[in-house]
Structure 1
Amino acid sequence: MKFTETKLKDAFIIDIERLSDHRGFFARTYCAEEFQEHGLKPVVAQCNMSFNYKRGTLRGMHYQAYPATEAKLVRCIRGAIYDVIIDMRPNSPTYLQHIGVELTAENRRALYVPDMFAHGYQALTDDSEVVYQVTEFYTPGVERGLRYDDPTFEIEWPEPVSEISEKDMNWPLLEKTTVGA
């Protein structure tokens, strides 16, 4: 695997390294030892999947606060998504900064989302499918979120939002949020 650190401290884009022959190719998509060597959490507590019927569907911006912060390894296995993460760690040099990365079934790229990063994505194709490896169990009492259109972040989503859950539409703006509380 090829680990490329993003401009956000501790967040990585992970590309596969293909071993190809006449049958196709083989590639490792996860290795606990390699994750540990790069300072990433190697624990996998849950694996999750989401499917989106329509292009423009938006999910996020979600994170879990202490004591159940979670890191994620996100990969699009069908179609394409625009994946966005925001550093919500108050003591981080990249606090409140964000990046967006296009993850597609074709590029087979993954995004490592560290603890205390808000995460969300927009489907760029109909019938997109996403898988997540998560380092902590889902814990409803510490679930947090931010509005996808919060003016603090000025996220430029590539498509108009066609579908969004009521819950995601009603997350508070950052100015009305206590980070980590």
Structure 2
Amino acid sequence: MSRFKILDAPMAGLKIVERFKHADERGFLARLFCSEELQAAGWSKPIAQVNQTLTVRRGAVRGLHFQRAPHAEMKFINCIRGKVWDVAVDLRRDSLTFLKWFGIELSPDNNRALLIPEGFAHGFQALAAETELIYFHSCAYHPDSEGALHVEEPCVGVQWPLPIAELSPRDRGHPKLSESFQGIAL
């Protein structure tokens, strides 16, 4: 019995995953991850790391982060409290959707998750105070492979649903893309 419905997003490899809740008078059970079932969505590696974030302030933005090869990572993003506008930006060199972005609301109420393949930057905006995410990563964090886009990168043009209420000094300091940026190779 499948615990997920897998939907294609408008970029190759990017998937929306709808989780099914099994509820009764006690509450519910929802599977957050299943490598066997998510293979159909493209998850092909073991989980190397699981991270949790708490974003206190509504309108705060985190991102847009990625890792370069050989530490490029897949991410599986789940919102377990509050709600977010979750964004993936295609940075794959020679991709038909290079520098295009996709955004989707994730929340415990809509039971959606986002599976982001290697070669994408990821970020989100909290649409509610006290929002929590759990991320599953296919590769552990490697500082030397880290990259980031500025959340207001004009070549990408992400439309954040709310005014940006808070941005870390680190994320604020990410430079804009140079004209020579040709994407990342995997």
Q: TM-score range by the shorter chain?
A: over 0.9
- Gap regions ≥5 residues in structure 1: none
Q: Give yes or no for the alignment of 1:131 onto 2:134.
A: yes
| Superposition CA RMSD, Å | 1.6
Write the mapping of 1:8-157 to structure 2, written as runs, cut at 5 A: 8-157=11-160
Alpha carbons 2:60, 2:165 under 8 Å: kept: yes
Letter in 1 for 2:132: E
Residue 80 of structure 1 contacts residue 124 of structure 1 at CA under 8 Å; is this kept in 2?
Answer: yes
CA distance in 1, matches of 2:80, 2:38: 21
1:179 is aligned to 2:176: no
Q: Which is further off, 142-151 or 87-96?
A: 87-96
Cα deviation code 1:30-68 (max 9, x no counterpart)? 211122233323421000011111101110000000110
Deviations 1:2-47 (A, max 9, x none): 0001001101111112333343333332211122233323421000
Identity %: 37
Tell me the alpha carbon deviations over residues 101-154 of structure 1, each in whole angstroms, 9 at most, x when there is no partner.
Answer: 001122121101111100000111111111100000000001000011011111
Per the normalisation by structure 2, the TM-score is 0.91
Assess if the C-alpha contact under 8 Å between 1:33 and 1:42 holds in 2.
Answer: no
**Once superposed, which parts of structure 1, at least 4 consecutive aligned residues long, lie more than 4 Å away?**
none
Number of equivalenced pairs: 181
TM-score, structure 1 as length reference: 0.93
Q: Greater CA deviation, 28-37 or 62-71?
A: 28-37
- Pick closer, same or farther for the CA change 1:18–1:42 going to 2, 3 Å: farther
